[in-house]
Chain A
Amino acid sequence: MTALTSPPQVMDRLLFGDNQFFGVNHMSEEKARAQQMRFQDIEAVMAVLDVAYDEGIRTFMCTTHDRIAEVCRLVRADPGRYAEMRFFPCMPYAHKYANAITDEGFLGAIRRFLPDEGLMDSVVRGTTSLARKDIEGVSTLLIDAELKMFTGLATPVIWMQNVVTDLLLGLGLTEAFRIFADHVHQRYGAEAGFITMNLPRLLDALDAAGVANPIVCANINKIGFRMSGGVEPYVEAMRTRQFRAVAMSVLASGAVPAREAIKWVCSLPNLTSIVFGASSRANIVATRQLVDEFWPADPVR
């Protein structure tokens, strides 16, 4: 079975990420904690999102962290202010599942996160699928539970988080990629995206699963930080493979100066988007200006 083909989304070149809001910093625990303190109140998060939005960066690529539900509520409440706001949710928020598997085992964790509103659909999909050892029913239920907070908002691309993508990739459960792509298309009219730390290998698996021209987000940076196999196979994949590349960790958590990092990544072939995080107006503006400078507008795009 091959994945349904969606009309390709027109993706913004710059996507705004959310690591900075949740104390994710790959370089320093101290910086991560300072960010957690700064963004304790959702108003602080919204203030930064507003700056990005007003700078023309209107796609928010975010986890399904509980606090994002607050952002969703605020955006829904002010459709005039956020008319062009689009969300690219990344799911699942892995920590809650990891802890649940530790506590309750694999099956217990699945049961805990299944929707509990008693919909006939959930009951049928869940129980028959558990009985048949069919991953499709259970996994689509989990996807629906994760995406509930985005109801009524534009979610044209829905991502599978790297820890899940790469776990499935390593296990060889590549059928799950096709199930995910089909489900987010059928139910949400969205395209699937896959975040990975193993780009070339994932492209092979997506090919095998029948997910054509996939959207794939991976670390792409000059020093090869968290690019499995090194820089060269990544650049080669961008040159030769049919996929839409979204570069993250372009600055390698700050190890590469911004100007050098963005100049390098913008020179790569077939780059679709860059996702970045920033906490200040100055950094948001500077990033946008660097991208404008090194990646001039393409009328075809």
Chain B
Amino acid sequence: MIDLAVVGLGKMGLSHLSMIKTHPDVRLVGVCDATKYVLDVLAKYTGVAVYTDFPAMLDQTKPAAVIIATPTHLHAGMLRQALERGIHVFCEKPLFTDPAESTALTELAAEGNLVTQVGYHNRFVASFREVHRLLGLEAIGTVHTALAEAYGPVVLKPAGRTWRSQRASGGGSLYDYAAHPLNLLTWYLGEPLGVTGSRLTTIFSAQIDDAAAATLHYPAGTAQLCVNWSDESQRKMTTKITLWGAHGRIYADRQEIQVYLRDTAPVPDGYRIGWNVRYTTDLTEAPWFYLRGEEYSAQLDAFVQRVATGTVQGDNDFGSATVTDRVIAAISADADTEPPPLDASAAAVDPAAGNGSRPSLPGLAGTVRQRARAGVRAVQDRIRK
């Protein structure tokens, strides 16, 4: 039995609390939030021990593990307090707004041999897992082109007073939306060499981006990011991934995976040349408790099992989430650069380095590293402000 505490009772925190409280291997020892009303209702009707002081909860309830579902800018401090006490942590995404904190706290967790996990739930969606499995089997060969998208109806009019409307506290479509498809891209394709062509676009929000676009560069090709959370045509958030390789194409969303395999492909068991469609309904095991999608239950169960077995490395550990944070920071920094004027575009292509099939980007990796460092500084400046 694992003693576990939860901090942050917003939408994600309440749903995590509801699921984890029913887990057969977990005993809930405390919940913490700044909103006294929610705490009082929970205490009155469910008898759980409630706290408004996070360190006090950790010291008094001595949990083996904690779920952190507070606004992003509070993550670093709370994670440090938990990790320094030897407590395993599950933390909502995105992990940090400053990748330097990612590195420091990843090291702190590693020193303590502690389990870490970040709530990138898409890695627990059956269709997206199947994509990962197929790439591992090299079913479509090396991916040369990718498209990662997320759309939804979050901000549909000028408004915003909460932490989500502040970039420095982890709000904005880049942090809150793009993080999901980017996390899938880094899972599928690894860490990119760099990013270019990034733009953060304001549609309705005063201080943050409502749409984001970028190109991620890999040794074998590129991936396009396109997200927009001011898209009323979507009933709820949808995340989509499309990957092209020499042997075929894979499309996946939360519900299904569509795979086209050419006759050159090494065809995995159960697949065929041509179109293959698999549905979440076929690929998903029923969890012990269902609230809002099997993936949310599955990621918490994975965390509990890793804590129970002391498995430090696993899906969405801080190491992997840090890669996503780094890409987000690089996009944020790249978005601050001015686009080259239209008539100078020809000059951006270095004919000596290119093979004619795609424009080459001389000195790209170095440029992007510089930009990423600048981006970290920019984000730090914003936070200080």
Interface residues of A (CB under 8 A from B): 22-29, 32, 36, 95, 98-99, 101-107, 130, 133, 135, 163, 166-173, 175-176, 197-198, 201, 223-230, 252-255
Q: Are A171 and B282 neighbours in the complex by a CB distance under 8 Å?
A: no
Binds A, one of B9-17, B93-101, B102-110, B191-199: B9-17
Q: Report the nearest B residue to A234, measured CB to CB.
A: B286
- Residue contact B255 to A133, C-beta cutoff 8 Å: no
CA–CA, A197 and B290, complex, Å:
6
Besides A26-B280, A255-B282, 15 other CB < 8 A contacts?
A23-B235, A24-B235, A25-B255, A29-B254, A29-B255, A103-B160, A106-B14, A135-B41, A170-B17, A170-B19, A171-B14, A172-B21, A197-B291, A198-B289, A224-B286
Query: Known contacts A27-B281, A201-B22; is A170 also within 8 Å of B10 by CB?
Result: no
A98 touches B281 (CB 8 A): no
Per-residue contact bits, chain B 40-53, to A (CB 8 Å; 1 contact, 0 not):
11101111100000
- Indicate if the CB atoms of B18 and A163 lie closer than 8 Å: no
Known A-B contacts A27-B281, A106-B38, A172-B21; A228 and B289 likewise in contact (beta carbons under 8 Å): yes
- Tell whether A167 pairs with B281 under 8 Å between CB atoms, given A95-B236, A101-B10: no
Question: A residues within 8 A CB of B362?
Answer: none
Q: How far is the CB of B124 from chain A (nearest CB, A)?
A: 15
Answer whether residue B292 sits at the interface, using C-beta atoms and an 8 A cutoff.
yes
In the bound assembly, the distance between CA atoms of A265 and B48 in angstroms comes to 39
A149 to B291, CA, bound (A): 27
Query: Could you tell me if B35 and A107 are in contact, using CB atoms closer than 8 angstroms?
Result: yes
CA distance A229 to B290 in the complex (A): 9
Interface residues of B (CB under 8 A from A): 9-11, 14-15, 17-19, 21-22, 35, 37-38, 40-42, 44-48, 153-154, 159-160, 162, 164, 235-236, 238, 253-256, 279-282, 284, 286-292, 294
Q: How far apart sit A99 and B154, CA to CA, in the bound complex (Å)?
A: 7
Residues of A within 8 A of B19 (CB): 170
Which residues of chain B have C-beta atoms less than 8 A from A32's C-beta? 235
The answer to whether B290 and A226 touch across the interface, beta carbons within 8 angstroms, is yes
CB <8 Å contact, A225 and B37:
no
A166 CA to B15 CA, complexed, in Å: 10
Instruction: Return the chain B residue nearest A197 by Cβ.
Output: B290
- From known contacts A175-B45, A228-B286, infer whether A103 and B159 are also in contact, taking CB-CB under 8 Å: yes
Enumerate chain A residues within 8 angstroms of B14, measured Cβ to Cβ: 106, 167, 171
A101 to B327, CA, bound (A): 29
Task: Report chain B residues within 8 Å CB of A101.
Answer: 10-11
Chain B residues with Cβ under 8 A from A171's Cβ?
Answer: 14, 17-18, 21, 42, 46
| Residue in B35, B255, B281 whose CB lies within 8 Å of A106 | B35
Contact B44 A105 (CB under 8 A): no
Smallest CB gap from B284: residue in A: A225
Choose among A98, A105, A135, A254 the residue that contacts B45 (Cβ–Cβ < 8 A). Answer: A135
Q: Determine whether the beta carbon of B38 is less than 8 Å from that of A170.
A: no
Which residues of A are found within 8 Å of B236, using beta-carbon distances? 95
**Which residue of chain B has the shortest Cβ distance to A227 in the bound complex?**
B286
Among B38, B238, B287, the residue within 8 A (CB) of A29 is: B238
CA distance A133 to B154 in the complex (A): 30
Q: Are A103 and B162 in contact (CB under 8 A)?
A: yes
Q: How far is the CB of B15 from chain A (nearest CB, A)?
A: 7
A255 to B255, CA, bound (A): 13
* Distance from B8 Cβ to chain A, minimum over Cβ atoms (Å): 12
Q: Is the CB of B11 within 8 A of A198?
A: no
The answer to whether B255 touches A26, judged by C-beta atoms less than 8 angstroms apart, is yes
- Taking a contact as CB atoms under 8 Å apart, the answer to whether A102 and B164 are in contact is yes
| In the bound complex, CA of A13 to CA of B166 (Å) | 52
Closest 3 CB pairs of A and B: A170-B18, A197-B290, A172-B46
Q: Which of B44, B45, B159, B162 has the most CB of A within 10 A?
A: B45
- A167-B15, A171-B17, A230-B286 given; A28·B255 CB < 8 A: yes
Residue picked from B44, B254, B286, B288, most chain A C-beta under 10 Å: B286
Q: Quick check: B281 and A225 within 8 Å, CB to CB?
A: yes
C-alpha spacing A27/B46, complex, angstroms: 36
Write out the residue numbers on chain A whose beta carbons fall within 8 Å of the beta carbon of B160: 103
Q: Would you mind naming 25 contact pairs between A and B with Cβ atoms under 8 Å apart?
A: A26-B281, A27-B279, A28-B255, A28-B279, A29-B254, A101-B10, A103-B164, A107-B35, A107-B38, A135-B41, A163-B291, A166-B289, A168-B18, A169-B22, A171-B14, A171-B17, A197-B291, A198-B289, A201-B22, A225-B281, A225-B284, A225-B286, A226-B286, A226-B290, A229-B288
**Residues in A whose Cβ lies below 8 Å from that of B17:** 170-171
**A253-B290 contact in complex given A171-B46, A173-B45, C-beta closer than 8 Å:** no
Q: Tell whether, in the assembled complex, residue A105 and residue B35 are in contact, meaning their CB atoms are under 8 Å apart.
A: yes
